[in-house]
Amino acid sequence: MKTLPQVLAVLTTAVATALVSSVANAAVLPASQTQSSWFTAGAEAVAAKVAEARNTGTAKNIIFFVGDGMGVSTLTAARIYQGQVAGNSGEENRLSFETFPYSALSKTYSVNQQTPDSAPTMTAMITGVKTEDGMLSVSSESIRGNCLSSKGNELKTALELAEDLGKSTGIISTARITHATPAATYAHTPERDWEADSNLTAEAVANGCHDIAYQLVMDAPGDGLEVALGGGRSYFLPNTVIDGEGAKGRRADGNDLTAAWGEKFTNAAYVWNKEAFDAVDASTTDHLLGLFEASHMQYEADRADDTAGEPSLAEMTSKAIDILKKNDKGYFLMVEGGRIDHAHHAGNAARALADTVALSDAVQAAMDKVDLQDTLIIVSADHSHTFTIAGYPARGNPILGLVHEPNDETISTTPAMAADNLPYTTLGYTNGPGAKTGARDDLTAIDTTEVDFLQQAQVPLSSETHAAEDVAIYAAGPGAWLFQGSVEQNVIFHVMNQAGALGGSKY
């Protein structure tokens, strides 16, 4: 009996032979077609796919990138934005992970909502089980906000399985590391808002539920996380403490969890600014906690102006890999671009796109560090937003600008007009703070590319909402080929479990 790799090799050869035969028997095409750069590029892309072999080995390392709120329209706009920043038309550009060989679509609904929040979506991706909105790594048998109901309904995460195998683990986020997406990797709670003990209800305290920050340090799985980098410093500090940037702690129990980190773990370091982060020696540091803001970290567009300085998402990713890779058994790392979501909620496309590019840069930093023969990299999103790319702008039209339609082979100097005789932007939102109850603002003399500009929206809301359409999955490395077609969001866990041999099986 042939082994799976042998069967795949035979199939690959057969497909290649069939394609060659098909080309040989094809009709002769006109030179205007075959000499086109589009035709050549398309043929080369297919040839590369034919030559590509599936990596059916085991993933020693898994790096899971999550762009919070990074829907397909966000990817498209960010791709163009990055290309235009580099001085090109933008449409032909590709984000780093868009070069990955395998992709799929992920269905994001939760157990109780068509349009989900980040808690059940990340729970699905990290445990293999869908749950209800607002709950982290507990099943839908739990009741949101009820501690007792969650007892016995905890779901084991991929990060915890990696810890069980003796692997090193880490989480990174530009949001608070107690926020929904990073928290779902290590915490179990029926309420995503229980980030500090001061957020707990009397019922939660009485029934022994711990807050999320406490769980990260004191209830950590295995020998504890090796890396935890992001925002949320106030949730780890007592309310009697003022931090280095003047913010007051939120803990009512008197615990300083930043100090507890150093006491609990060996070769441990805690840092809160860029200078201290840069000084960390990865070769001698085995447990690194970095909390760079009292709440969320700065948007990428504003990071350079931060008082104490903050590392970029790419810098945090690179440092984390240097610490984690010292373990011969491998590692599991989750990296979140958390503020893509926040910028969209604010109706602020410029910051959302800059943070998406920052996530792409972090993926590239990981690709530069690892060997894809033994490292599985997955990039996906928890949900989308009501973010649109509309009108008929000419190719190369500024993605953040007003719509200017083509004029022969140039861009019209006059903006396109809507039925209300006012110009409009390419990017917009279905709902959010950019909407008005009266007539639209005249954008003729407005710089819509300015970072603080809020795109116009249809339905007035104080905060733009999530959207329910599928999001993309991109993957490279061992097991990446398992991502094909349209899948339920919880399948992501099962691919990581299968490819990484994490042992999370009922069989």
- pLDDT tens digit string along 128-170? 999 999 999 999 999 999 999 999 999 999 999 999 999 999 9
Q: What is residue 467's three-state secondary structure?
A: strand
The token pair at 260 is 């507890």
Do 149 and 136 meet the contact criterion of CB atoms below 8 Å apart? Answer: no
- Which pair of tokens denotes residue 407? 């004029």
- What average pLDDT does the segment 477-489 reach? 98
> What's this model's pTM, rounded to 2 decimal places?
0.94
3-class DSSP state for residue 260?
Answer: helix
Distance, in Å, from the CA atom of 66 to the CA atom of 74, rounded to the nearest integer, reads: 13
Structure tokens that stand for 356 in this block: 């998406």
Rg of the chain taking only CA atoms, in angstroms? 24
Q: Reduce the DSSP state of residue 273 to 3 states and report it.
A: coil
Q: What is the pLDDT of residues 411-459, one digit of tens each?
A: 889 999 999 999 999 999 999 999 998 899 999 999 999 999 999 999 9
The model's pLDDT over 294-317, given as tens digits with 9 standing for 90+, comes to 999 999 999 999 989 999 999 999
Residue 285 has pLDDT above 50, yes or no: yes
Q: What is the pLDDT of residue 408?
A: 84
pLDDT at 7: 38
Burial of 237 (0-12, 13-18, 19+ CB in 10 A): buried
Per DSSP, the three-state class of 487 is strand
Res 15: pLDDT: 45
Confidence of residue 27 (pLDDT cuts 50, 70, 90): confident
∠ at Cα 51 (57, 381), nearest 5°?
Answer: 60
Distance CA 19, CA 50 (A): 8
CB atoms within 10 A of CB 383: 28
For 15, 23, 394, 462, the CA distances from 18, given in Å and listed in that order, are 5, 9, 40, 57
Per-residue pLDDT at 101: 97
Whether 118 is a known active-site residue: answer yes
Dist. CA 27–CA 407, nearest whole Å: 36
Cβ(139)–Cβ(131) below 8 Å: yes
Asked whether the beta carbons of 228 and 209 are under 8 A apart, the reply is no
Q: What 3-state DSSP class applies to 429? A: strand
Higher pLDDT, 26 or 499: 499
pLDDT at 410: 84
Provide φ and ψ at 487, rounded to 5°.
Answer: -130, 155
> Mean pLDDT score of the chain, rounded to an integer?
94
With cut-offs at 50, 70 and 90, classify the pLDDT of residue 505. confident
pLDDT tens per residue across span 35-80: 999 999 999 999 999 999 999 999 999 999 999 999 999 999 999 9
Helix (H) or strand (E) segment spanning residue 11: helix 4-24
* Cβ atoms of residues 287 and 226 within 8 Å: yes
Question: Which residue in the list 73, 110, 118, 173 is annotated as catalytic?
Answer: 118
Percent over 70 (pLDDT), the chain: 94
SS3 sequence of 45-89: HHHHHHHCCCCCCCCCEEEEEEECCCCHHHHHHHHHHHHHHCCCC
**334-350 pLDDT per residue, tens:** 999 999 999 999 999 99
Q: How far is CA 132 from CA 123, 283, 296, in A?
A: 9, 41, 24
Please enumerate in sequence order all residues whose Cβ is within 8 A of that of 43, keeping only pairs 6 or more positions apart, or say none: none
CB-count exposure of residue 51 (10 Å: 0-12, 13-18, 19+): exposed
Q: Name the DSSP letter for residue 338.
A: T
The yes-or-no verdict on residue 173 having pLDDT over 80 is yes
Output the CA torsion 443→447→449→455 (10° steps): -30
Spatial distance between the Cα atoms of 22 and 27, rounded to a whole number of angstroms: 10
**107-136 pLDDT tens trace:** 999 999 999 999 999 999 999 999 999 999
Check: CB of residue 230 under 8 Å from CB of residue 175: yes
The pLDDT value recorded for residue 25 is 59
Confirm if 157 and 184 have CB atoms less than 8 A apart: yes
**Which candidate, 424, 408, 332, places its Cα nearest to that of 370?**
332
